[in-house]
Structure 1
Amino acid sequence: MKNYFTLPILFILLLFNCSSSKTDVTLQTPQNIVFKIKPSKTDFRIKTADTPHYITYNPSINQGKLLLFLAGTYGVATKGPKNLFKTAIEQGYRVINLQYITNISVSRICSGETLTNNSSCAEEFRQKRIYGDNDFSLILDEPQDAIVNRLTKLLIYLSKNDKKGNWEFYLENGHPKWEQIAVSGQSQGGGMAAYIAKKQRVPRVIVFSGGWDYSTTDRKEIANWYYTSSVTPYNCWYGTYHVKEPTATTIEKTYIAMNIPENHVYGLDLAVPDGKKAHSNGVRNINYKNLWIKMLGKGN
């Protein structure tokens, strides 16, 4: 059964069991600090997708969990959904919108003869883009380009250059402390967040219209990786899609395959403004703020 979201609805904010040198640009607003840091500043080996990461938090709020956000195809971190990020900060999170290689999507590579010859194409694609530790040769990502390396090097950089920020809280033995890092993303990035949450135990995962990977060229079967077990408890998973986006049915099918609880899946149905896309409405439309709050829970 679809859990459609129509305003006005009064949401009750619940505490869920799962809750348990110089930067390139430093901006100061009356409340929130914003850093914009080029990936190459944190790791000189990074040459591709070197537009800045976007980092924001409020130093007056007790330090809580980190929200890692991953954009969709062609996404640029500095142009991310700022209202969603402000809401996350209000809920006690810090936010990193991580710049990674977004200009080639899974659907572009894993189709046609390629998919016919390798039904695990989508999984291998995501493994390389996130961890950079396999031999998938159809994308040119280098190991240093991997999402996890970019996040790790950014956290190390911040711990050295924003001493008051206590960024080492999100590191453990030089690696991300996933138990303190909620993961989220839109479209390609939503699929990346889901893939991470299956392999790392995170406090929360929020998938906004999170990809539509297939294992067959006729698109009758979604990718096998959706059915693999998750180390992140299922009650920590949330997923949204807009009922008007072309791949809504497939996205809903992936959420079912990933065992996201039925009452944690939201088929959004608010009107999409002229010139805008239903696919990105879930992260952009401020009228979903109450839903964002419900899915984020308390970060601190």
Structure 2
Amino acid sequence: MKSLLITFLLLGSQLVAADGQRFDLSMRASEIDPRAKAHPEIKFSFTDDKGKPADLQHAVVDTRVPSQGKLVIWLMGHNQGLFERISSYGYHGIQPHYSNGWFAGITKAQYEDGSGTVLGNIRLEASTGEDHSPLVNIPKPDGMMERSLQFVKWLVKANPEGKWQQFITDDGMGLRWEKVIMSGISHGSTTSARFAMHQKVDRVVMFSGPRDNTETWQGGPSATPSNRFFGFTHILDGGWAADHYCRSWQLLKMHNHGPIVNIDSAKPPYGNTRRLITNIDVKNNAGRAHTIVVPGGKDVVGQWVYDEVFRYLFTHPVDQSGPAVPMDADCEMDQGQRK
């Protein structure tokens, strides 16, 4: 029997209503597109070490909520809390499986070629499936763009109630990127930013990132304007403590839209800024600080946190911007080739 997995998580009366429901769907990328391939050379496969599927992709839409015509593409492992929240805003969401397992294979010498674009170019190739880096060979069917397109095409047929066709161009050759919100955490937030600099999107929501602190691509020309980038991190995250995130935020010119705001002592709309931080209690655990900022994160007593922040990051009107402020002198911008 073909291992087709279409999962509808029907959580009692919470999801079932006369005028719709939330649909949570899953399907393997290798079963959607026969062109999809594994790439063991970059530690990217369709199964994990135990033989379980590793290429399962996830999607969500809540037909009880008026559609806002926006598609969130999440570039990290599936996060049910995030998907429940974005669907409650009237957004569609997908989490594509694409060739992103290249990071550990890059050598120190390759990092330090002096261009400032080594990782950025690999991220761009992983995103587009186009030739942007000599260090990897990621064909179009295995890049994020094509994997996302084929997934949405599958969803058009598998979930007609969701009206996924609105995100596909008339010629069927691509997604309507002006309707897309790129988002991710850590590695995923960094790749989201790099892709958005290449391809204009509706907005970018970056959790615990972007990083690539030895590179300069974050300061290059961007197809997506700076007012459409939003960031959120915990200040005990190692990437924040080492000035990796604040550096990227300033290279992305996010300081042109307001100061850094600590949401622990502020309320929406946070001065219409694009740079949010928190110091919620994580028992001084830097690893927990890195992950708690994503939708679905829970505090030390198991309670959901930051619902207002998540809504702001994903829905705040991009034309409402805070005042430009000087770059933070305490954020080290020149990090050379140090890791």
Specify if TM > 0.5.
Answer: yes
Asked whether the 8 Å contact 1:23–1:161 carries over to 2, the reply is no
**Alignment partner, residue 129 of structure 1:** 126
CA drift at 1:111: 5.1
1:231 equivalenced with 2:227 (yes/no): no
**8 Å contact from structure 1 (residues 186, 207) kept in 2:** yes
Shift of 1:198: 1.4
Equivalent residue number for residue 62 of structure 1:
66
* Secondary structure at 1:27 match in 2: coil
Q: Counterpart of 1:3?
A: none
Which has the greater radius of gyration? 2
1:258 maps onto 2:252 in alignment: yes
Q: 1:290 to 1:258 in 2, by over 3 A?
A: same
Aligned partners of 2:186 and 2:208 also within 8 Å: yes
| TM-score under structure 1 length normalisation | 0.80
Contact 1:212–1:250 (CA<8 Å) still a contact in 2? Answer: yes
Cα distance, 1:100 vs structure 2 = 2.3
Alignment of 1:66-215 (within 5 A): 66-71=71-76, 76-77=77-78, 80=79, 82-105=80-103, 108-110=104-106, 112-117=108-113, 119=115, 120-134=117-131, 136-139=133-136, 141-172=138-169, 173=171, 174-214=173-213
Cα distance in structure 1, aligned partners of 2:67 and 2:85: 15
What are the superposed Cα offsets for residues 8-58 of structure 1, whole Å, 9 maximum, x if unpaired? xxxxxxxxxxxxx99522314224111111001221122334321111111
**SS of the residue 1:287 aligns to:** coil
Query: Relative to 1, partners in 2 of residues 1:183 and 1:169: Cα closer, same or farther, differing over 3 Å?
Result: same
Query: 1:181-215: CA deviations, max 9, x gaps?
Result: 1111111110111112212222221011124214x
What does residue 290 of structure 1 align with? 308
Q: Is the 8 A contact 1:132 1:142 kept in 2?
A: yes
In structure 1, list runs of 5 or more residues that go unmatched: 1-20, 215-221
CA contact (8 A) 1:91 1:298 kept: no
Q: Does 1:26 align with 2:44?
A: no
Tell me by how many angstroms 1:244 deviates: 0.6
Residue identity in the other structure for 2:236: K
Q: Is the 8 A contact 1:92 1:298 kept in 2?
A: no
**Further displaced range: 222-231 or 266-275:** 266-275
Q: Secondary structure at the match of 1:35?
A: strand
The runs of 5 or more residues in structure 2 that have no matched partner are: 16-20, 39-44, 47-54, 260-272, 299-303, 318-339
Separation in 1, partners of 2:217, 2:74: 21
Deviation readout 1:123-176 (Å, 9 max, x if unpaired): 221121111211634345333211111001111111233223221100112201
TM-score under structure 2 length normalisation: 0.71
CA distance in 2, matches of 1:54, 1:181: 16
CA RMSD of aligned residues (A): 2.4
Change (3 A) 1:229 1:193: same
- State the partner residue of 2:26: 36
CA–CA separation in structure 2 for the residues paired with 1:100 and 1:134 = 15
Structure 1 letter corresponding to 2:74: F
- Determine helix, strand or coil for the equivalent of 2:292: helix
**Ranges of 4+ aligned residues in structure 1 off by more than 6 Å:** none
Alignment-mate amino acid for residue 67 of structure 2: Q
Higher relative contact order (CA 8 A, sep 6+): 1
Deviation at 1:62, TM superposition (A): 2.1
Residues paired across the two proteins, number: 263
Structure 2 match to 1:243? 235
SS of equivalent to 1:247: helix
